[in-house]
Amino acid sequence: MTNHTQRAVRRSRRSEGHRRPSCGDHGRIAASDTLRTAEEASTEDQFGIAEPFGRPDHEHQTTLGFHLDGGRPRVGRYHLIEPLGQGSQGEVWKAVQLEPRIELVALKLLMSAGSRDPRKLARFRREAERGARMNHPAILPTYEFGQDGGVVFFAMPLVDGFALSQILDQRRQYRAGQPPLQLHRLAVLSEPRYIDAVARVLVRVAWALEDAHASRVVHCDVKPANILLDRSNEERTYLIDFGMGRDLDAMPRSPSESLAGTVLYMAPEKLLGRQVEEVLCDVYALGATAFEAFALKPPRAVPEDLPRSLWASYLAETEPPRPRTIFPRLPEGLERILVRALAQDPKRRYSSAGAMAGDLERFLSGTQSRSCQGSLA
């Protein structure tokens, strides 16, 4: 039996409204009241993870970092079923909770090598804390955070669905006459219905981002791969993977950490290594995501023969084209919203994700924001 250090701390039920997976029998988790930098964080906190991590019992873990129970890998009270993908900080698995009731969950794992690195461990823990602290129906809650031997983990709701990036790939293939075997319904909608449905997805993501910012958290990696849609109902949309995120009340990052993210969706000022307003960088990334969702191609691309060392400067100097030059059937009102979100000058962007969400809602309701009409026309 491995040394199993694990504790679930009670957490409040989420607000009603838009359907969000509830904590159910998992109980609550309390987020830390004090935000710390990776350098300041210790390996012992209210979650019951104690140092040192080099105890002898760790040597008896399998090479994957977890132990076997009846032939199936097990971490804590969870049996691992199959890998779902790689997050920014660890592997994500479909798992079944064994107690207090049988339930499917998504389990994010930081394996033994990462759990022995204080910086990686602190970053992983803060990601779990953000899920505990933020209270929005389009942000998945953290059910539980714990450690089993050499593996640190946290559990989240399991959503049967597709990432927006997968849906965009499906739509590209469908339009090319080569539809994949599995399709989300968005991938096959007619263009007018697709535009409307995508705008509604973006509204939900924008309000989730606004709520995160109100909680003093920036995402730092908004992109189609980090937006999850339920397989049968795109109204159940989630902004996921806050692993690259930053707590705005924490001490400033080092320059190398500030550049964490995905360059195709990164704001120009961030690519150039300048002092940035992270909220406005998130707005830019949401704008780039919206551009790709409508046009089925990102607003900027890197030439194949360009050395990687020059990517940041090239993308920073490349101004996105007007969206309607790529997707002529895009309504002018939506184009104005995208152009404003993608402004090279951060002062000309939306000041908040909520302001962008409001303009999207006004577009959907048939009215257009005066501020949006008057800017970048």
CATH number, domain of 195, equals 1.10.510.10
Do 130 and 249 have their domain in common?
no
Do 142 and 225 have their domain in common?
no
The tally of CA atoms less than 13 A away on the side-chain side of residue 63 is: 0
Q: Which domain CATH number covers 67?
A: 3.30.200.20
Do 193 and 132 have their domain in common?
no
Do 14 and 130 have their domain in common?
yes
Do 195 and 145 have their domain in common?
no
Do 322 and 194 have their domain in common?
yes
Q: What are phi and psi of 101, to 5 degrees?
A: -145, 160
Do 237 and 112 have their domain in common?
no
Last residue of a domain, one of 141, 157, 173: 157
Q: Is the dihedral of CA 168, 172, 178, 179 positive or negative?
A: positive
Burial of residue 282, with CB atoms counted within 10 A of its CB: 0-12 exposed, 13-18 middle, 19 or more buried: buried
Do 370 and 320 have their domain in common?
yes
How far apart are the C-alpha atoms of 293 and 286, rounded to whole Å?
10
pTM of the model: 0.79
Do 72 and 144 have their domain in common?
yes
How far apart are the C-alpha atoms of 228 and 87, rounded to whole Å?
13
Last residue of a domain, one of 157, 177, 201: 157
- Count CB neighbours of 300 within 10 A: 21
How far apart are the C-alpha atoms of 84 and 225, rounded to whole Å?
13
Last residue of a domain, one of 125, 157, 189: 157
Rg of the chain taking only CA atoms, in angstroms? 21
Count of domains for the chain: 2
pLDDT in tens, the chain (377 residues): 433 333 333 333 333 334 444 444 333 332 222 223 333 333 334 333 333 222 223 233 333 445 555 556 889 899 999 998 876 677 899 999 988 888 999 999 987 665 667 888 888 898 899 998 888 999 999 999 998 888 899 999 999 999 999 999 999 999 999 999 999 999 999 999 999 999 999 999 999 999 999 999 999 999 999 999 999 888 899 999 998 898 888 756 555 455 667 999 999 999 999 889 999 999 999 999 999 999 999 999 999 999 999 999 999 999 999 999 999 999 999 999 999 999 999 999 999 999 999 999 999 998 554 445 444 43
Do 18 and 143 have their domain in common?
yes
The H or E element that residue 189 is part of is none
Token duo for residue 310: 């020059």
Do 135 and 215 have their domain in common?
no
- Domain of residue 114: give its range: 4-157
Do 191 and 299 have their domain in common?
yes
The tally of CA atoms less than 13 A away on the side-chain side of residue 229 is: 26
